[in-house]
Structure 1
Amino acid sequence: MKKPGTRHKARKRAVDLLFEAEVKNCSPVDLIVQRRELAIGDDSVGKINDYTAQIVEGIAGDTAGVDAVISSHLKEWTLPRLPAVDRAILRLATWELFNTVDVPTMVVVDEAVELAKELSTDDSPAFINGVLGRIVLLAPQVRAALTAEQAGGSTTDSRSQES
């Protein structure tokens, strides 16, 4: 079995934080702040990877947009009807498909399916793969626009180059 990489662990932690925030009805960004503060004085609290924080903060900053994309690609389902962990995985993958130009789209989809295998129901991996298979068609245009925006100096990309 392949050992999970740093980004896989970061994604899994992001899903955990997104899920926890939804259950607690609180901000996932606030959870990151709390965990980072706790980790300072307590070694049993895992540190928050920068990529985890980037994902969670990105999703939190555009939840409505991410949810709209997911909702428009669901067939015979609504976002609120999905299991909370599946929503978190779909949010993570959708955000990553559109915002991480250094990660190949198929890696994003594969990682989401793997997370579904680890964290959700037996039917979830195929379901998530199907939804993302439709969303991934939009990714090249969105990524191209992001790259053009960054090249124009509108934003600074501080993402890690580690996959």
Structure 2
Amino acid sequence: MSVGTIRHQARTLALQILYEADVAQHPASDVLARYTSDLSLPQPVRRYVERLISGVMEDLEKIDAEIGAAAPAFPVDQLPPIDRNILRIAIYELRNEHDVPVKAAINEAVELAKRFGGDNSSRFVNGVLGTIAGNLASSR
């Protein structure tokens, strides 16, 4: 299984976990434990999902503040939950997973938005992440 495949599967699973935690107000750690108890889940996917979920939850306030700064016309708590959680995963990766290319993190987020989001989700996600990636690049 390639690194790209592992990360793709992990991002998709992380989105499902964060979506449930967000919408149903379940603790993310409980949802994560339930999803990763599946014994057929490959260990590398499980490890990356765990890293994504714990990283997003640890930095949630900072990540949401970045979303708010990059898209001030759209309050974070009023964003569609799918869009909000796709952005959270991608921003975590952009800030913390330095072995993930910026374009790969953005492209994966856009693909998740096309697959799971609304009609304008992919454009919105791409725009927000483009702004954040530009800010990160200029601050390094």
Q: What's the TM-score bracket when you normalise by the shorter of the two chains?
A: 0.7 to 0.9
Structure 2 unaligned blocks of 5 or more? none
1:9 and 2:9 equivalent? yes
Q: Write the letter of the residue equivalent to 2:136.
A: A
* RMSD between superposed Cα atoms in Å: 1.8
The alignment of Structure 1 onto Structure 2 pairs a total of residues equal to 135
Q: What SS class does the counterpart of residue 139 from structure 1 fall into?
A: helix
The equivalent residue for 1:91 is 88
- Name whichever structure is richer in helix by fraction: 2
Residues 124-155 of structure 1: per-residue CA shift (max 9 Å, x gap): 0011101111000133366x5xxxxxxxxxxx
1:53 and 2:50 equivalent? yes
Larger radius of gyration: 1
The equivalent residue for 2:125 is 128
Q: Distance in 2 between matches of 1:116 and 1:87?
A: 10
Q: Distance in 2 between matches of 1:63 and 1:26?
A: 15
1:21 and 2:21 equivalent? yes
Structure 1 unaligned blocks of 5 or more? 145-163
C-alpha deviation, 1:30, in angstroms: 2.1
Alignment map for 1:34-45 (pairs within 5 Å): 34-36=34-36, 38-39=37-38
- The answer on whether the counterparts of 1:29 and 1:60 sit within 8 Å (CA) in structure 2 is no
TM-score (norm 1): 0.76
Q: What SS class does the counterpart of residue 102 from structure 1 fall into?
A: coil
Query: What percentage of residue pairs aligned between the two structures are identical?
Result: 34
- The answer on whether the counterparts of 2:18 and 2:85 sit within 8 Å (CA) in structure 1 is yes
The equivalent residue for 1:137 is 134
Q: Write the letter of the residue equivalent to 2:21.
A: A
Q: For structure 1, which segment, 12-21 or 72-81, has the greater mean C-alpha deviation from structure 2 after superposition?
A: 72-81
Q: For structure 1, which segment, 13-22 or 25-34, has the greater mean C-alpha deviation from structure 2 after superposition?
A: 25-34
